[in-house]
Amino acid sequence: MRFPPQLTRIGSAAALLSALLVGGAVTAPPASAAVGSVCQSALPAQANDTLRLIEQGGPYPFTQDGTVFQNRERILPSRSAGYYREYTVITPGSATRGARRIVTGQEQQEDYYTADHYATFDLIDYGC
């Protein structure tokens, strides 16, 4: 079951408050709490453009594309440093890189899509 990001944050805040009040340990939500899945066919066209660029090895529109994604949010499964890479998904009409990204893992077809700048991720399902 996926919870909206607001409920996840409320749950995390409640856990922190509870731990502080009773002196217990604070634990992070499970890594899978904000990871869902999405069919490749349901992605915006620009995400599929980015996936094609990744497959081709570039060229990428931004210098940050292909750099290490550090997983600071700890939403994706914990892996060694350098395991994940991030790529911009163009947002039409945006003057900046926008919030949409593809984050790839080193496993074949371990590609995640985020439309909200790392608050949530969906594993891309290539079979639907």
Residues labelled as active-site residues: 86, 117
DSSP state of 28: P
Pairing between β-strand 111-114 and β-strand 67-69 as defined by DSSP bridges: unpaired
Measuring CA to CA, which residue among 127, 62, 120 is closest to residue 96? Answer: 62
What are the DSSP calls for 40-99, one per residue? GGGS-HHHHHHHHHHHHT---SSTTTTEEE--TT--SPP--TT-EEEEE---TT-SS--S
Contacts of 117 (CB under 8 A, 6+ apart): 99, 100, 101
